[in-house]
Amino acid sequence: MGAPLTGRRIVVPETRELDLFTTMLRERGAIPIPCPLVAIRDAPDPAPVEEWLRRFIARPGDDLILLTGEGLRRLAGVAERAGIRDSFVAALRPPRKITRGPKPVRALREIGLDADLTAPTPTSAGVVEALAAFDLTGRRVGVQLYPDGDHQPLLGFLSGAGAQADAVLPYVYASEADDERVLGIIAQIAAGEIDAIAFTSSPQVRRFFQVAAKDGRVDAAREGLERILVAAIGPVVAGELAAFGVRADVMPANETYFMKPLVRELGEAFATRDIWP
């Protein structure tokens, strides 16, 4: 089953689960090329996050929107360090929990909870679509945000629907691999030394092109990606690639936006397409 990936050199921009992803690829014979593009850090000032947690514990509210699994884990981490984790988990039980995609669902299950309402598509617009059928007048809604996202449409929708939103941003993005490492990957892609790249988050895509832009190599980066197999873990990442003029050749189907299905799709793409060298 792993034969199609044997010897394939695949760039892995993942950071948090880099070891897991590279292990999956190696087990199928691939040669992973680690290049972690984005690091995830706790919010530099934990005070506003802790204040949000204490408000949430005191009055859990009617709804809680979780946009990322990382966000819930970071909130739990801050609660742990503040000595209020058990109270936070208990406060998570009563509200209706709305998730943007499968990752926050998985994070909820890690603490023995589950989602009550999942967006039909794993986007903020999908969350709006999921909530549009409900009367939100006067409802108190906690909203876990993520860095670099355009949250105004979601927050504007909640305000327009009469809800009282209380938002929290529990983590930030930071650069991981140095620029020279990223430029080296771009050069390898241009030289035909790479078979595929697998993006697992939108910030990875943005960082890739930001580094290319600083060195005047955006066109070279884009042309290089056109010659290899470009994988995206889900439609949000595919949309980010499209914004930079790059098509995602591979994406897991049926909303299985996880690494294992992504690796499987990579193998099937190399097995069934003749255009890959």
Clarify whether residues 99 and 64 are in a common domain.
yes
Using DSSP, how many helices (H) and how many strands (E) does the chain show?
A: 12, 11
**277 in any annotated domain:** no
Report whether pLDDT(2) > 80: no
Nearest to 177 by CA among 132, 146, 210, 138: 210
How far are the Cα atoms of 59, 183, 194, 262 from residue 188, in angstroms, in the given order? 54, 9, 6, 23
9-35 tens-digit pLDDT? 999 999 888 899 999 999 999 999 999
The CATH code of the domain that includes 147 is 3.40.50.10090
Q: Does residue 162 share a domain with residue 56?
A: yes
**pLDDT value at position 256?**
67
Per-residue pLDDT tens digits for 39-87:
889 999 999 999 999 999 999 999 999 999 999 999 999 999 999 999 9
Instruction: Please indicate, yes or no, whether residues 91 and 134 belong to a single structural domain of this protein.
Output: yes
Ordered DSSP codes for 86-112 = HHHHHHHSSSEEEESSHHHHHHHHHTT
Q: Are residues 166 and 179 in the same domain?
A: no
Q: Directed axis angle between helix 152-160 and helix 124-131, to 10°?
A: 10
Rounded Cα–Cα distance for residues 204 and 68 (Å) = 16
Amino acid at 122: P
> Residue 11 belongs to what H/E stretch?
strand 9-12
Average pLDDT of the chain to the nearest whole number: 93
Q: Dihedral, CA atoms, 81, 84, 89, 91, nearest 10 degrees?
A: -140
Structural domain range at position 130: 44-173
Residue 210 shares a structural domain with residue 227:
yes
pLDDT attached to residue 78: 97
**262 shares a domain with 248:** yes
